[in-house]
Amino acid sequence: MTDTQWPRYEVFVQERPGRPHQHAGSVHAPDPEMALLNARDVFVRRPECAGLWVAPATAVHGGSAEELPQLLAAPRSQGGSPSNEYLVFAKLEERGTLTHVGEVRAAGREAALAAAQEAAGNRPPLALWVIPAERVERSLPEEAASMFDPSRHKPFRNQAFYHIQTALQRLRRDPSLIANRQSPEARR
Amino acid sequence: MTDDERLAHFEARIARGEKIEPGDWMPDEYRRQLIRMISQHAHSEIVGMLPEGGWITMAPSLRRKLVLVAKVQDEGGHGQYLYHAAETLGISRQEMIEALHSGKAKYSSIFNYPATSWADIGVIGWFVDGAAILNQTMLARSSYGPYARAMVRISAEESFHNKQGIEIVLALVQGTPAQQAMAQDAVDRWWWPTLMMFGPHDSESPNTPALVRWGIKTRTNDDLRQEFVNQTVPQAQAMGLTLPDHELHFDKSTGNWRFGEIDWAEFWRVVGGDGPCNRERLQARRAAHDDGLWVRQALAAYAART
């Protein structure tokens, strides 16, 4: 209890309404609700967020393209309902990140991963995750204002707020603006 | 596959510009170097909050205070992004934080210098963040996916850190003689430690060849340091500030500003723990960790309720 570990939650950020959620990183938290709040504090200091999901790292099944053949060959867990819903996240571009691409229904995580791989078709993902839908904690639309609006009122976090080049050019054109300027020679 | 074949496959992937993802095979040395670099980088963000954090309550206007709070808050967030990136390599956050608090882990030496005047807050943004952004822009192209992605995010967010610093210095150099002197004094104190931030000369940097070959770094310390000097000298000239180096001159043949030798004895002394603020910084981090214990306990108790 004195440590800083707590369970790790993977964080997915939706930058604009209608865009897919994308993996941004992770946070540690004692429960899903705190994970969502920590994720807001860590990943949403800028306005580019319309929705936030977190899921316990232990609920993630999958891995990189190198790991997938072995994961797909593993024996499947028994007894789950074939209608269990899993969210699918795939990394499709070298410079991209894991992105929500859809859902599959399967009796267990191994079957879900296989279904997700099959759905990818002839475009094999560079990394692939499935997460049971019930394990994903999502920000609620009615909470969006209190969760995300504070970041909209901080224009000073944007570099365009500062007009440095203009100010430097002005000084270059008119050095008298630095009225009490000492020449380098005078300093020596 | 033998380890040699795995290594050849791994190096071919990097040569093709592919990103290495958690779970992919990687040489132990690649993993070790990444953990070292990323955790040092994370610690630097966290310790980096301290010199500036002390000035939040003394900021000269509400606007400056809002900006400084936002910047320090970013640094805390960036530390978290980076701890996450390191965790994907198999080290725990607990291990990293213990290594920092015990003094075993390093962080950027620049944060072992004190911020003694308001002008320091301007010059830290101008110099220290300017230097950090060059390094981070390079690391955004790193071969390790989670590190590169953290750096893309951090680089985008940090560009205002540099600009707000220059804005502070611009205000001071157009102010009273006392304000101008304050700006010059801060420049005098921060210039050399900033040049040291890029690390030892390439010839003295044992890690560099492996880091470059594996695409962790794509440029060398000396190369980045030269770009920093080239971009900063004209800014200082425009602001009427003198950089404290009598050997500084423009070399027409290379287009570079040549500068004098860095005091490496000072660099190694501060890295070794004997800088002006090393003890104070670690004490502050340990105290923050210990003082936060009751919050962690309260959250754990709340989570355990049934």
The interface pTM score, or ipTM, of the predicted complex is 0.92
Q: Is B93 close to A28, i.e. CB distance below 8 A?
A: yes
**Other C-beta atoms within 10 Å of B168: how many?**
26
Instruction: Check if A182 contacts B (Cβ < 8 Å).
Output: yes
Distance from CA of A79 to the nearest CA of B (A): 28
Integer Cα distance of A114 and A92 in angstroms: 17
Amino acid letter at A136? V
Answer whether residue A105 shows pLDDT above 90. yes
Q: Is B302 close to A30, i.e. CB distance below 8 A?
A: yes
Q: Tell which residue, B186, B47, B78, has the closest CA to residue B122.
A: B186
Contact list in B for residue A159 (CB cut-off 8 A) is 159-160, 162-163
Q: Is A182 close to B235, i.e. CB distance below 8 A?
A: no
Distance from CA of B203 to the nearest CA of A (A): 32
Answer whether residue A78 shows pLDDT above 90. no
Residue with tokens 């609620």: A140
Q: If you average pLDDT over residues A153-161, what whole number do you get?
A: 91
Q: Residue A57: what are its φ and ψ, rounded to 5°?
A: -60, -30
In the prediction, which pLDDT does A4 show?
59
Tokens of B171: 């205000």
| DSSP helix, strand, coil percent of chain B (3-state; round to 5) | 70, 5, 30
In the prediction, which pLDDT does A5 show?
79
Disruptive mutation site among A36, A42, A61 for chain B (greatest number of B CBs within 10 Å)? A42
In the prediction, which pLDDT does A181 show?
53
Q: Is B167 close to A126, i.e. CB distance below 8 A?
A: no
DSSP code of A76? Answer: P
pTM for this predicted structure: 0.93
Range of the domain at B112: 3-303
Looking at B175-254, list the stretches that DSSP marks H as alpha helix, in order from N- to C-terminal side. Answer: 177-196, 208-213, 221-238
Q: Tell which residue, B229, B63, B248, B167, has the closest CA to residue A168.
A: B167
Q: Residue A17: what are its φ and ψ, rounded to 5°?
A: -55, 140
Q: If you average pLDDT over residues A73-88, what whole number do you get?
A: 89
A6: left (phi over 0), alpha (psi -120 to 50) or beta: left
How many residues appear in chain A? 188
In the prediction, which pLDDT does B162 show?
96
Distances (CA, A) of B71 to A45, A102, B107, B254, B261: 10, 36, 19, 36, 32
Integer Cα distance of B303 and B161 in angstroms: 36
Residue of B nearest to A153 (CA): B66
pLDDT digit string (tens) for B137-155? 999 999 999 999 999 999 9
Buried b or exposed e, range A37-53, using 16+ CB within 10 angstroms = bbbbebbbbbbebbbbb
Q: Tell which residue, A68, A92, A76, has the closest CA to residue A20.
A: A92
Q: What count of Cα atoms within 13 Å lies in the side-chain half-sphere of residue A105?
A: 4
In the prediction, which pLDDT does B133 show?
95
Residue of B nearest to A188 (CA): B246
pLDDT tier at A183, thresholds 50, 70, 90: low
Answer whether residue A2 shows pLDDT above 70. no
Residue of A nearest to B166 (CA): A164
Residue with tokens 């500062």: A162
Q: Number of folded domains in chain B? A: 1
pLDDT tier at A177, thresholds 50, 70, 90: confident
Residue of B nearest to A4 (CA): B94
CATH number at residue B234: 1.20.1260.10
Q: What count of Cα atoms within 13 Å lies in the side-chain half-sphere of residue B159?
A: 12
Q: What are the residue ranges in chain B where pLDDT is below 50?
A: none
Instruction: Check if B236 contacts A (Cβ < 8 Å).
Output: no
Strand partners, B28: none
**Other C-beta atoms within 10 Å of B184: how many?**
22
Answer whether residue A188 shows pLDDT above 50. no
Instruction: Check if A66 contacts B (Cβ < 8 Å).
Output: yes
Contact list in A for residue B92 (CB cut-off 8 A) is 5
In the prediction, which pLDDT does B305 show?
84
In the prediction, which pLDDT does A79 show?
79
The percentage of chain A sitting over the pLDDT mark of 70, rounded to a whole number, equals 93
